[in-house]
A and B are shown apart, each in its own frame.
Chain A
Amino acid sequence: MTKTSITLNVNGQTHETKAEPRELLIHVLREQLEITGPHIGCETSHCGACTVDIDGRSVKSCTLFAIQAQGSEITTIEGLGGPDKLHVLQEKFKEHHGLQCGFCTPGMITRAHRLLEENPDPTEQEVRFGLSGNLCRCTGYQNIVKAVMAAASELNQTEVA
């Protein structure tokens, strides 16, 4: 089966690659583009570790063929912030102990980013509902919720100022 040329826009960069139609987005991101922030967790669209942002929607990249993302704008955790300049959400996860092993964190933060874009001032209940597609086996979620609430509060203050 022949490979098809695929153009993916990831974190503001255009990548030309070749993939079979059956190759999932998560595999192309990690193995071909070496963008390894999104993780492979359950591979069954339950855990959310592979969450990326595609054209303003949070998507589980284990349940989308790379070819379906052709021409879309994709953002991964790498596009939100990095060691040199952490995103507010990354800062707050660090500050509030929103992670232990860190496996779920890229998906969790990528999802939280979209949630706050859509709902900049969520209630705790809305944060919990909005993150319900992401599983964490370490934290018990309390500190993740605190971190997202703190990030929302800081982002809102920045906007007012």
Chain B
Amino acid sequence: MIPGRFDYHQPESLAAAVTLLSELGDDARVIAGGHSLIPMMKLRLAMPEHLIDLKAIGDLKHITVADGVVSIGAMTTQAELIGSAALADAAPIVKETALQIADPQIRYQGTIGGNVANGDPGNDMPALMQCLDASFTLSGPNGQREVRAREFYEAAYFTTRDDLEILTRVTFAAHGGGYAYEKQKRKIGDYATAAAAVLLSKGADGACSSASIAMTNLADTPIYCEEASSAMIGAGIDATSIETAVKSCLECIEPVDDNRGPAEFKKHAAGMVLKRAIDSAWSRA
């Protein structure tokens, strides 16, 4: 499996990368960890004439937590997310999710930026970012802009990112309360058959004071279920309210038959991971 021919570029600043991408246009692809793109190139499903490697751009690798806001550079690897004490403190759901992505070797290479920007419905970080109501920073020839994760995904591999823009960082508020990322997969390294990210907070009265639920690989985009999330707020969490929330979530998804199973099975798996994630998040709230 030999990829097609390409020229390799390794710009040393974001400005240089943006300029290069503007000049090369559709013939170029940006490469981060490469663990989605290189396999596609080996199968010749992707044949870029130019690769722009972001690895030498130091600004794109950081994890900072300041005033309750978490900022993560796009080139930060899953292993670095897992190893960050500051991140584990501010947003432990990120570590819980990253540990369920692929395998150790891939987590050393795979980046958060690649995971969220690729638009692959199987990737885990997009639903997590929707659950956290994260914002993505995009840099292009016309400057920089912010897009909410909940408004970023249009269809499989289609996002609101323009071809000439580079996703440079993700930001979100540190989360308190309970959290869980539950993923059903066939084996280590597989994408989810169904996965769910859940954040729940408990108020002084013991009722649910905030809720956010998003799901992975159950439609051609990640799915944030606003209805289920808002319906949980203000009430206690018990078997009945969990059942109602799960039912509401299942109405938002559109799984398709594939080698991970028929759509009906995926709905069953989705219901199961949702219940587990809500139980787990509430027990930690």
Interface residue total, chain B, C-beta cutoff 8 A: 27
B3 pairs with A68, CB closer than 8 A: no
Given A57-B108, A59-B108, A133-B104, decide whether A45 and B5 contact each other with a Cβ distance below 8 A: no
Q: Give the distance in Å from the alpha carbon of A4 to the alpha carbon of B108 in the complex.
A: 26
Q: Give the distance in Å from the alpha carbon of A31 to the alpha carbon of B134 in the complex.
A: 45
Provide the residues of chain A in CB contact with B6, threshold 8 Å.
21-22
Interface residue total, chain A, C-beta cutoff 8 A: 28
Provide the residues of chain B in CB contact with A51, threshold 8 Å.
105
Q: Give the distance in Å from the alpha carbon of A111 to the alpha carbon of B189 in the complex.
A: 16
User: Can you name the residue of chain B whose Cβ is closest to the Cβ of A55?
Assistant: B108
- Encode B4-26 as 1/0 by CB contact (under 8 A) with A: 11111000000000000000000
Provide the residues of chain B in CB contact with A60, threshold 8 Å.
105-106, 109
Given A45-B106, A48-B105, decide whether A68 and B55 contact each other with a Cβ distance below 8 A: yes
Closest 9 pairs (CB-CB, A-B): A133-B103, A21-B8, A57-B108, A132-B188, A133-B105, A1-B5, A22-B3, A58-B105, A60-B105
Provide the residues of chain A in CB contact with B106, threshold 8 Å.
45, 60, 133
List 5 extra interface pairs beyond A21-B5, A24-B2, A133-B102, CB under 8 A: A21-B7, A22-B3, A45-B105, A65-B38, A129-B104
User: Can you name the residue of chain B whose Cβ is closest to the Cβ of A63?
Assistant: B38
Q: Give the distance in Å from the alpha carbon of A4 to the alpha carbon of B9 in the complex.
A: 12
Q: Give the distance in Å from the alpha carbon of A20 to the alpha carbon of B51 in the complex.
A: 13
Q: Which of B1-58 contact A (CB under 8 A)?
A: 1-8, 34-35, 38-39, 41-42, 51, 53, 55
Q: Which of A12-46 contact B (CB under 8 A)?
A: 20-22, 24, 43-46
